[in-house]
Amino acid sequence: MERATSIREAFADFLDDKEYQGVRPWTIDFYRRNFEHFLKDTGVEVIGDVSESVIRSWLLAHRHVSEATLATYDRSLRVTFNWFEKRGYVAVSPMANLPKRKTPRTVVDTFSRSELQEIMKIARGGRNPRRDVALVTLLLDTGVRIGEATTLKLDDVNWKESSLQVSGKTGPRVVPFGRRTKATLKAYIDRERKAATPHIRQVFLTRSGCTLTPHGGTQQVSAIVRQAGIKVRKKGPHTFRHTFAVEFIRAGGDAFSLQRLLGHSTLDMTRRYVHLADSDLREAHRKFAPADAWL
């Protein structure tokens, strides 16, 4: 028996519950943006009108996007409709018998040193140069997610220990940072950061002095990368996270330490970076194998 007919009413209840549970703001925003996209495209207003065929057709209509994006849409809708079922808004989720889309194992995009230098040139030439340089440097140096970076507060920065108290998807963690990040952060906070009110404690702000949202941070970083002419498939802030992870492994770091730094709940994602480093070893062996060169 359905408790409500308005799908927007049910979804508002879903978001309120997620907020009550303490789900991170950027995760709630993720659900909101994907569901609004779904509602806008389908025009559905009554929750009972959402069937498996409606959802399947909507996903098929987005075959032009990447498989990873489709898997993201699938996951977001599945979580929402499972919640609707649990709370009695629908008898059975319309996705109950719809197979999950799997995220493909693709090559991890990373930036080269020369690409990073071009990115920094663009960051230095923007309207908020100290903020943009500090943000890009922080992403590269720590591997934090853009949502974690934009929700950092001034009190989360331990200047003495050169570390951040990060609130991530898997809970709080401490992430160290280097001298260059420390210098760029201090330059931004001391010389450019101007909050609209003293109550705003987030580190990264907009030009008007308001909090820079995860979505806004993503747009800004992506714009900088595009202006730098970088040709990687993914131009968003997550590529900085990938670059940090791969370089950490290449420099001799271990997977368990990387897992803690990145805030992964399991080693499954971390292994992708380790495997990429293994491919580096194979290529190095191909070039310098003693038996091939000397015998």
Bridge partners (DSSP) listed for residue 211: 205
Domain positions in the chain: 7-86, 113-283
How many CB atoms neighbour CB 255 within 10 A? Answer: 17
Instruction: Give the E-state strand segments of the chain in sequence order.
Output: 157-158, 163-168, 171-176
- Predicted confidence at residue 139, as pLDDT, reads 95
Looking at the chain, the whole-number percentage of residues with pLDDT higher than 70 is: 87
Strands 163-168 and 171-176: antiparallel
How many CB atoms neighbour CB 4 within 10 A? Answer: 17
The pTM of this model reads: 0.66
Matching CATH number, 113-283, of 2.40.37.10, 1.10.443.10, 2.60.120.260, 3.50.50.60: 1.10.443.10
202 by DSSP, 3-state: which?
A: strand
Q: 38-56: per-residue pLDDT in tens?
A: 999 999 999 989 999 999 9
- Predicted confidence at residue 64, as pLDDT, reads 81
**CB neighbour list of residue 49: distance below 8 Å, 6 or more residues apart:** none
DSSP run (H or E) holding 162: none
> What is the C-alpha to C-alpha distance for residues 237 and 216, in angstroms, rounded to an integer?
11
Q: 93-137: per-residue pLDDT in tens?
A: 999 999 887 765 556 688 889 999 999 999 999 999 999 999 999
Closest-CA residue to 12 (of 72, 78, 84)? 84
Range of weakest confidence among 26-30, 250-254, 280-284: 280-284
Chain centre distance of CA 217: 10
Q: What is the mean pLDDT of the chain?
A: 86
> What is the C-alpha to C-alpha distance for residues 15 and 20, in angstroms, rounded to an integer?
9
Fold annotation for 7-86: DNA polymerase; domain 1 (1.10.150)
